[in-house]
Each structure stands twice: as C-alpha cells, then as structure tokens.
Amino acid sequence: MDRSQRNVIEIEKIMLSILGKDGFKKKKKHMLIRLCGECIQHISILETKIKGKDEVYISIAIGFSYEKLNKCISFIRGENYDSRWATSNINMTTLINNGETYGFYVNEFTNLSEVALDIAECIQNFAYQFWEKCNNMQKYKTMLINKDDEVCMSTYTLKRPEWNLLALSLLLNDNSYDRIMCEYKKELIKNKSIFEGIEERISQFKEMEKHNG
C-alpha cells in the first residue's frame, strides 16, 4: 500500500468521525453504512490508482438496500440471491447535478481534512435528502411511481424500476400488483427467459408470505 492509498484510509477515518455522529459505521474498507428501519443506507469511496504516480482519484457513490426487497426480486426473477446487490446506487456527481464532476486527486500534498470535510458536507447536503425520500418501502414505491429522476436513475444499473415496483406491490400487499403488472409488462417481458414462469413464482411467493405472516 503506497502513501496515497494510506491517505484515502485517513480520509475515510475523518469522514467516519463526522458522519458517525449521524449513525454511520464502517462496514468494510471504503464503505460506511447506517440502518434506518429496514433500509440500509451506504456510502462507498471509489478509489482509482493513477498509473505511474503515487496518486489516486476518489469519487463517492451512495445508495440504499432493502434485503427483503432484493430477495423478493431475486425469487420472482428465478435468480439466486446475491447479498452484494444494492437496491439503489448513484454517484455524488449525479446528485449534485451542477455540471461538474465530483471527485478528488489524492497525493502527498493533499489536505486530507479538507477533502474529508468537503465529502462529509456534500453527503449531508445531498445524500441525506435523497435517503429521506426512500427511507421506507412505501416512500420508495411512491418515488418510483412518481418517476422521481434521482430515484429511478439509481435503479437502472441494478434491477430497474419495474422489477422494484412489482416486488414492492407484493411485499406491501396494497392491491397494486395487477395494475403494475399491466403498466410495466412491456418492460418486464424484454428478457423472455426471466419472465417465463413468473406467474408461478409469484404465486409461490404469495403463499410463502401467507405462512410467514
């Protein structure tokens, strides 16, 4: 590990000292999380080594996970559940949306405290508002139905809004399943191999929920 990489670890420590007051804890290297009910909110420090230099570039991604929701999506898609999946993931550049890329080059001359403070304040000013919109499954579903740009965008690299909505309709049991299946069927059937057999899997899931409830 070179000096610049050690500096990133130091930045992480300073961030944790600030955001720890809001309930964040270190989960693993370069990842902080906090629990808000069933919602796991997470911050990732993304590190890229600059070739030929004792320097790294860091950027920040934030997101959240609902384990129960992710397991439901996996089941109705006929896939194995992967605990590494996140429900939502989005980078700070997209959240800030000021036309500039948000990130830092870190080397021996970097003021680590300034960088850590800037990141922590940016998270508090932008990420906290984002999480507030989705800190329970009902609010998350409402944001997807209303096609909130940030929330929908944060699902596109994962399981997309339509699969989240379908699973949420089952978990919340709010009589919206038929409407959502009808409205999003064109998107859902794009992958025919996954869509095949979905009605049977959904029936199985509903039965399991009855027994678990």
**pTM, whole model, 2 decimals?**
0.91
On the 0-12 / 13-18 / 19+ scale of CB atoms within 10 A, 159 is buried
* Interacting residues of 151 by C-beta distance below 8 A, sequence separation 6+: 88, 130, 133, 134, 140, 143, 144
Is residue 187 within 8 A of residue 180, CB to CB? The reply is no
Which helix (H) or strand (E) is 106 found in, with range? Answer: strand 104-106
Q: End-to-end distance of the chain based on CA atoms, in angstroms?
A: 50
pLDDT for 170-186, tens place per residue? 999 999 999 999 999 99
Provide the token pair at 156.
Answer: 């596109």
Is residue 29 within 8 A of residue 72, CB to CB? The reply is no
pLDDT for 6-61, tens place per residue? 999 999 999 999 999 999 999 999 999 999 999 999 999 999 999 999 899 999 99
